[in-house]
Amino acid sequence: MSIDIQSIKQRFGIIGIDPKLDMAIRRAVRVAPTDITVLISGESGTGKEHIPKIIHHFSKRKHGPYFAINCGAIPEGTIDSELFGHEKGAFTGAVSTRKGYFEVANGGTLFLDEVGELPLTTQVRLLRVLESGEFIKVGSSKVEKTDVRIIAATNRDLRRLVEEGKFREDLYYRLNTVEIPLPPLRERGDDIVLLFRKFAADFADKYHVPPVRLTPEAQEMIKRYYWPGNIRELRNITEQISILEESRRITPEILKKYLPLYQQNLPGIISGEKARYDFGKDRELIFKLLFEMKKEIDKLKTVTSELMQRHPAALPQATAQPPAVYDTYNPSTDEKSQEIQVDEQSTLIVPHNNEQSQTAVIVEEPSLRIEDNERELIKKALQKHNGRRKPAALELGISERTLYRKIKQYDLE
């Protein structure tokens, strides 16, 4: 089957030429004629909502109903009623019988966005529908049938949730028959500039102003930015610039005012590590934490050097088992020394040069546990911003929601 990617993009308002984006569209078109359950993965704001519409349009169900439900936006106490319906009197406020989405979407497609937010009890009900097409309304004992195709999406690592016991393993494999990953905006290169131009033109029409344009330097700047909020963040920033800036020529100096988390070298490092590590929602905080740890280690090296020059330290007392001794050589200074391992936390460094007065220093190595350093980093950010969570989250490069969760986790209220 020949797939005209460009015409599909035009029909569904998708902007971009990135190969990973094209691959996602091709996979969506190929699985569309089947009834295979599809899981769309990607960070928040990457445009996951377009893929289910493409699948529905090219499927045999395209004339049937299509519903998109944000599972994270429905309260836990009412989500079963929303999805499966309820009988009159099933709970307080149930004044009449109500059909759920699985009943009204019969013969069509149901898109479950943020499926990782579903409570475990609802996951059991969903698994039954996927396996047998059967469901029971809340407050009823009658088994009903439905013919609905399920497409799910998540910005969370479901495998990690499975390991934590927050998501059923059998449901994960049932949903993940075919996975369609969407790339984050920071990995889409020139697409970022194309999207900015599209948004700038849209807002120029909306607010009756000339469209803003980026200088070549500003274009390179937005390509290097990390874009934690992806396309949604780019759209919001473009709208702010279109309204607030008098100049229609946007330079890096102007752009920096709207990119508070911009650090020129950070995106490249994160982008390079992305292929090897998957830290989920916490990756921004972890990478910032690693930079802070590097700074602390550099400070420690400076202090150690000063101590070695000013204050000779006594060698450790003999112990029942002698410490491990390692000869080292620094080619840049032509100095030889010995490293004596005192314990798991300390190393004694002793110069080998007998012509100089021997000095030694015990180097206390900082804790390398992610949890310890992460807690300190969050604590410092909160102190710096007087407990205000929004600027602290911006400083850390994470969302307010993630920061709130970390504050609860480390008891930093």
Q: Is residue 31 part of a domain?
A: yes
Domain ranges, residue 234: 186-256
Pair 108, 221 in one domain: no
Query: Do the domain assignments include residue 407?
Result: yes
290, part of any domain: no
pLDDT band at 328 (very low <50, low <70, confident <90, very high): low
Residues 309 and 393 grouped into a single domain:
yes
Quick one: 13 and 159 in the same domain?
A: yes
What total number of domains does the chain contain? Answer: 3
Q: How many CA atoms lie within 13 A of 224 on its CB side?
A: 17
Same domain, 111 and 165: yes
Domain boundary among 183, 214, 247: 183
Q: Do residues 174 and 89 share a domain?
A: yes
Between vectors from CA 158 to CA 157 and to CA 160, what angle results, nearest 5°? 70
Residue 282, in any domain of the structure: no
Predicted TM-score (pTM) of the model is: 0.64
Q: Both 52 and 120 in a single domain?
A: yes
Render pLDDT for 136-158 as a digit per residue (tens, 0 to 9): 999 999 999 999 999 999 999 99
Token pair recorded at residue 147: 């013919």
Last residue of one domain, picked from the residues 256, 285, 314: 256
In terms of domains, do 174 and 219 share one? Answer: no
Whether 343 has a pLDDT exceeding 70, the answer reads no
Assigned domain for 215 exists: yes
Residues 174 and 192 in one domain: no
Task: Looking at the structure, tell me whether residues 64 and 172 fall in a common domain.
Answer: yes
Q: Would you say residue 278 lies in a domain?
A: no
Residue type (1 letter), 63: H
Residue owning tokens 């005012």: 257
| One domain for residues 113 and 124 | yes
Q: How many residues does the chain have?
A: 413
- Domain boundary residue, one of 224, 256, 288: 256
If asked whether residues 108 and 94 sit together in one domain, one would say: yes
Write the DSSP assignment of 181-192 as a string of letters: E---GGGSTTHH
- pLDDT in the model for residue 385: 83
The CATH number of the domain where 210 resides is what?
1.10.8.60
- Nearest of 316, 341, 337 to residue 327 by alpha carbon: 337
Contacts 24+ apart (CB under 8 A), 364-367: 366/293, 366/296, 366/297, 366/300
H or E stretch covering 382: helix 370-384
- How many Å apart are CA 24 and CA 41, to the nearest integer? 10
Paired with 125 in beta bridges are none
Say how far apart CA 292 and CA 232 lie, in whole Å: 29
Residue 293 included in any domain:
no
Tens digits of residue pLDDT in 63-109: 999 999 999 999 988 999 999 999 998 888 888 999 999 999 999 99
CA 36 to CA 233: how far, in whole Å? 32
User: Domain for residue 174, yes or no?
Assistant: yes
Residues 174 and 210 in one domain: no
The rounded distance, in Å, linking the Cα atoms of 60 and 48 is 21
pLDDT of residue 73: 92
Q: Report whether 132 contacts 125 (CB < 8 A).
A: no
Separation between Cα atoms, residue 117 and residue 276, nearest integer Å = 26
